[in-house]
Amino acid sequence: MMVQPHKKAKALKASSRRPAKELCSECGLCDTYYVHYVKEACAFINQQVAPLEVQTHGRSRNLEDPDDLYFGVHQSMTAARKTEPIEGAQWTGIVSSIAIEMLNRGLVEGVVCVQNTAEDRFQPMPIIARTPAEILAARVNKPTLSPNLSVLEQIEQSGLKRLLVIGVGCQIQALRSVEKQLGLEKLYVLGTPCVDNVTRAGLQKFLDTTSRSPETVVYYEFMQDFKVHFKHEDGSTETVPFFGLKTNQLKDVFAPSCMSCFDYVNSLADLVVGYMGAPFGWQWIVVRNETGQAMLDLVQNQLETQPVSSQGDRKNAVQQSIPAYDKAVTLPMWAAKLMGVFIEKIGPKGLEYARFSIDSHFARNYLYVKRNYPDKLEAHVPEYAKRIVGQYKLPD
């Protein structure tokens, strides 16, 4: 019997350097013998969103279609929330609910998801869940880089043939790249958008500089009302306006991988569940292909839905935020609150808020790559991101 080439490869020890070096997002691929494919698969070594879109969805995004340009290949977008939210989920628990239905109905035998360690609620611990209870124990974001793909070797060892993987864009690009080597009959991918992720140490710095009580934070989210919402152990909520963040101290907190990422919307998942294109309190659902639609259908009877909408004009706000971020301007709290109220009243909403967030992050990341990795700029930035950034005047 011929041994597949990757089986001769050895996972890189955690201590050894990843081939992507400081740009590594710790996706976990290099912890497995699939490291054999790293030069091709790693999102930070070989950006290949367009060909993988063709492989996954049958076509790459149409750059002339404004929604495709921003949100990737899709069949539909909706806003939804669970009529009975899952207690302790990040939003209303649509992700966990889909995973549980897929397992209960026998569509999959296992679900790759991320629990936390017993000692630290924010330390990610990827697993292949085999029961609804294990999926539920993975609910809520671990807002740190997570080596989800480190469990890939276990798939073959355990003989799994039908699998659901939940993950963020960089993990999913590497996964799609090695998908054919996994020996699966069917792979389902449930993605979330992702931006501004941090190492565990970076997370601590963010909590310490931003929250009134860092040690009791159980959850946080940058929300559509231009505020960071922290939830504490005692159930209380704390909000801090984006414009009041201590930008000068936080400038280096985001991982270099996330400062050079252009796959905010998880282009290669079958189905994406986030929040940024939906009204406040609702989740944003992007169905990319037939597989994604079949996954969403499983929970339709648990959901309340409404069409996505778009309001406001982001362009000026984005243009003004580019030099402000570059110079790490931090407003005094009273001014930040005032600015927050103003922006919330007249600012971009729904899909326009999502475009605002994509534009601001792509502009920042484009400058970061241009300044720190000029040789990578041309190949690493996808064509759609170049077009989006090209709408703005950037500093040198």
Site residues, ligand SF4 (CB under 6 A): 18-20, 24-27, 29-30, 38, 42, 44, 170, 174
Q: Which of 181, 197, 210, 289 binds ligand FAD (CB under 6 A)?
A: 197
Query: Which residues fall within 8 angstroms of residue 157, CB to CB, at 6 or more apart?
Result: none
Determine whether 88 is exposed, middle or buried from the number of CB atoms within 10 Å of its CB (0-12, 13-18, 19+): middle
Binder of residue 32, out of ligand SF4, ligand FAD, none (CB less than 5 to 8 A by kind) = none
Shortest distance, CB of residue 171 to ligand SF4, whole angstroms? Answer: 8
> Judged by CB under 6 A, which stretch of 47-55, 59-67, 90-98, 365-373 contacts ligand FAD?
90-98
Nearer to ligand FAD, 166 or 187 (CB): 166
What tokens appear for 20 in the block?
A: 């992507």
Asked if 256 touches ligand FAD (CB under 6 A), the answer is no
As a whole number of angstroms, the distance between CA 325 and CA 226 comes to 15
Distance in Å, CB of 264 to ligand FAD, minimum: 7
Q: Which residue is listed with tokens 């400081």?
A: 22
- What is the spatial order of strands in the sheet that 227-232 belongs to? 217-222, 227-232, 237-241
Site string for ligand FAD, 157-186 (x = CB under 6 A): ---------xxx------------------
Q: Buried b vs exposed e over 253-289: b needs ≥16 C-beta within 10 Å?
A: bbbbbbbbbbbbbbbbbbbbbbbbbbbeebbbbbbbb
Toward ligand FAD, which CB reaches closer, 57 or 139? 139
Asked if 276 interacts with ligand FAD (CB under 6 A), we say yes
Contact 155, 163 (CB under 8 A): yes
Amino acid residing at 89: A
In terms of phi and psi (left: phi > 0; alpha: psi -120 to 50; beta: otherwise), the region of 328 is left
Would you list the DSSP string of 167-206? E-HHHHHHHHHHGGGS--SEEEEEE----S---HHHHHHH
Residue number with CB closer to ligand FAD (47 or 171): 171
User: Contact between 124 and ligand FAD (CB under 6 A)?
Assistant: yes
Which amino acid is it at 196? D
Per CB under 6 A, 287 contacts ligand FAD: no
Measured from the CB atom, the residue of 18 and 61 that comes closer to ligand SF4 is 18
Residue 151 three-state SS: helix
Q: What's the min distance (Å) between Cβ of 9 and ligand SF4?
A: 12
> In the range 221-250, which residues lie near ligand FAD by CB under 6 A?
221
Fill in the amino acid letter for 384: Y
Nearer to ligand FAD (CB atom), residue 47 or residue 148? 148
* Nearest position to ligand FAD, beta carbon: 274
Task: Check binding of 95 to ligand FAD (CB under 6 A).
Answer: yes
State the minimum distance, in angstroms, from the CB of residue 14 to ligand SF4. 10
Binding site for ligand FAD (CB under 6 A): 89-96, 113-114, 124, 138-144, 146, 148, 166-168, 192-195, 197, 221, 273-276, 283-284
